[in-house]
Structure 1
Amino acid sequence: MLIRRPDDIPPSEIADPAVYRARRRFMTQAGGLALATALPAARAAPASLGPLTASPLSTAEPATSRRAVTGYNNFYELGTDKADPAENAFRLRPAPWTVRVEGLVNKPRSFTIEELLKLAPLEERIYRMRCVEGWSMVIPWVGFPLASLLRQVDPQGSAKYVEFVSHYDKATMTRGVLDWPYLEGLRLDEARHPLTLLAVGLFGEVLPVQNGAPIRLVVPWKYGFKGGKSIVAIRLVEKQPVTTWMKAGPSEYGFYANVNPEVDHPRWSQATERRIGEFTKRRTLMFNGYAEQVASLYGGLDLRRNF
């Protein structure tokens, strides 16, 4: 398993974008990245998403620096080191793009990104985000509720879960490590919850590739691996999906992945976390601090068995 513990994350590992861009230019010129000349480059300057609605669902906590949010990422399709996704962003072309919505719906269809952006007003939502390895950030996402998309396709009564499929290109992206493509899932009521977001940007700009461009899932009361990146398909199904990390480590990663300080990872405690940019640990909050909004979803559910 290639996950690192929070004590192994020095601030020096948070790559400065200028550094990784210079490194990539050097490697390209030296012939170290043969694919660089054959693949489209990542966006050099993120485009503004225009006027945004400030969401009342936002936390009042200050956002983590843009440098950390865009330079310290988990996106294994682009590499397993935290700096790899930003360095390898050129391997994924975020446009043109479509998202298929299929399965147990009465109105299956494919949406372009342009069509998705018209479904609901874009909001900026500043969410606490917690990673299973013990580190956390506060990120100003831009997006719209997943529920807005689900209403467009009219889920059938037999639909109980939503499965998310991420883009994968074996010719240009990481091989091995996990069983690709990356799959994630939510219960339908979780997917419809007002906090659940389809993000298309951050810091008021178009989503960078390393953060999951052009569209990704954000579920702030769950560990970060639940947020599938670069989504190409959304399927409504009757049975609980078997997600990528459940297949990779069933004793370590469950379907729910709710932030719960009382349930340790087999190899480390989840009771504390380290906010990127801080040197002291803080107490982990139940449901990542969103208990008031989401605890009712899990009434009667054993959260130790359903981890």
Structure 2
Amino acid sequence: MLIKKTKNSDETENNVTDESIFNDRRRIIKGLGFAGMGSLLASSQQAHALSLFGSSDEDSLFKTRELSFSKPEKYQIEEPLTPELKATRYNNFYEFGLGKDDPFENSQSFSTDPWKLVIDGAVENPITLDYDDLYSLFDIEERIYRLRCVEAWSMVIPWVGFSLNKLIAKAKPLSKAKYVSFRTVFSPKQMPGQKSRYVGGGIDYPYREGLRLDEAMHPLSFMAVGVYGKTLPPQNGAPIRLVMPWKYGFKSIKSIVRIELTEDEPKTTWSMLAPNEYGFYANVNPKVSHPRWSQAKERRITSGGLLNRSRIDTQMFNGYDEVASLYSGMDLSKYY
């Protein structure tokens, strides 16, 4: 191990879109003036449903390995899991492309070892973790969490990793620390979306996310190094990603290389790109619609067909009521 000091719920189901949200959400990207985006998105969307169930050359796939972990009972929820094939082939990861199947198709040669994760900023003990540390520094465990995408689809996924609060505590936050900023790896040679405004959606990379410190320290906040019992594949955020089960999926930043504690609220990628649509908090809230679609219901991706139209009611905080006290007294339609 290497540790270096360095520092409106009233809306009807008919108003809830499904696959159309995939295109609708990206209308803002088209609005930024990127020529050719429409045809790119169309071709990607047509392809993703087919490739999800297609066969691949196993020799060309990113190699994962089995992990050893505990299974705390309180995190083994009794809900059907999303099949691994769907959870690993239906992804949003714009660094590898805008289509749902692009992350899988474009990431299999992604290199994750060596890797460095820096934790610094307003801390007493800045640290740098290497690749092996990610799996050995803390005891790892499996947590089955619901994942709710802002696009109104959801999954149930068994993540493997450790509590974010353990990592932050090891860095010893200073009293002035109020927020936690996250940054993904910047690797244009390996991530086509980072070198092309057409493939990557015009985002100013590297991708950034942030939390209040009390959110980050909540026991549910999780750093995943694996999924379905194995190390993470790149399309799911290898080698380490954040999982915030009560927030929309875009908050769960992937392939993290830096965690910085700050005094001020950090800028985040989607709130910079479309502040009227994607706020800093991004808590799952069925009573607050996205400007262009309802959040009252969601399409759960299960063992049925990918394009199934079954709907379930969205729960406040995605059903994780234990986090409600973090937002006591806040107007969650204002702080969305």
* Native 8 Å contact 1:246 1:253 kept in 2: yes
Residues of 2 paired with 1:150 and 1:75: CA distance?
A: 25
Q: CA 1:15–1:157 in 2, change beyond 3 Å: closer, same or farther? A: farther
3-state secondary structure, aligned to 1:260: coil
Select the residue among 56, 60, 68 that pairs with 1:21: 56
Give yes or no for contact 1:119–1:149 (8 Å, CA) kept in 2: no
Aligned match for 1:136, one of 145, 151, 154: 154
Instruction: Identify if the C-alpha distance between structure 1 residues 42 and 159 changes in structure 2 by more than 3 Å, giving closer, same or farther.
Output: farther
**SS of equivalent residue, structure 2 residue 289:** coil
1:164 aligns to what SS in structure 2? strand
Summarize the Cα distance change of 1:181–1:52 in structure 2 as closer, same or farther, 3 Å threshold.
same
Change (3 A) 1:235 1:20: farther
Note the residue ranges of structure 2 that are not aligned, 5 or more in a row: 1-16, 23-44, 303-307
Cα shift at 1:112: 1.1
Does residue 298 in structure 1 map to residue 327 in structure 2? yes
State the AA in 1 paired with 2:325. S
2:173 pairs with one of 155, 179, 195: 155
CA deviation profile, 1:118-171 (whole Å, cap 9, x unmatched): 332111100010000010000000010001101111000000000000012123
Q: Does 1:189 align with 2:214?
A: yes
Shift of 1:104: 0.2
| Cα displacement (A) at 1:203 | 0.7
Question: How high is the TM-score relative to the length of structure 1?
Answer: 0.88
Match in the other structure for 1:288: 318
Number of residues of Structure 1 aligned to a counterpart in Structure 2: 286
Residue from 95, 99, 108 that aligns with 1:90: 108
Match of 1:43 in 2: 62
Q: 1:149 to 1:265 in 2, by over 3 A?
A: same
Match of 2:227 among 193, 199, 202: 202
What's the CA shift for 1:89? 1.2
Q: Choose the corresponding residue for 1:78, options 76, 85, 96.
A: 96
Q: CA RMSD in A?
A: 2.2
Is the 8 Å Cα contact of residues 53 and 121 (structure 1) preserved in structure 2?
A: no
Question: What is the deviation of 1:94?
Answer: 1.1
1:6 to 10, 15, 18: 18
**Which residue matches 1:279?**
309
- Greater Cα offset, 46-55 or 60-69: 46-55
Deviations 1:65-94 (A, max 9, x none): 001100000000011000000001135211
Contact 2:297–2:313 under 8 Å retained in 1: yes
User: Structure 1 stretches of 5 or more lacking a match?
Assistant: 26-40
The offset of 1:302, in angstroms, is 0.7
* Other-structure match for 2:163: 145
Corresponding residue of 1:35: none
Contact 1:15 1:71 in 2 (8 A): no
Distance 2:72 2:267 in 1: 35
Q: Which residue of 1 aligns with 2:267?
A: 242
1:280 to partner: Cα distance: 1.0
Q: CA deviation at 1:62?
A: 1.3
Percent identity over the alignment is 48
Aligned to 1:256: 281
Deviant stretches of 4+, over 6 Å: 9-12
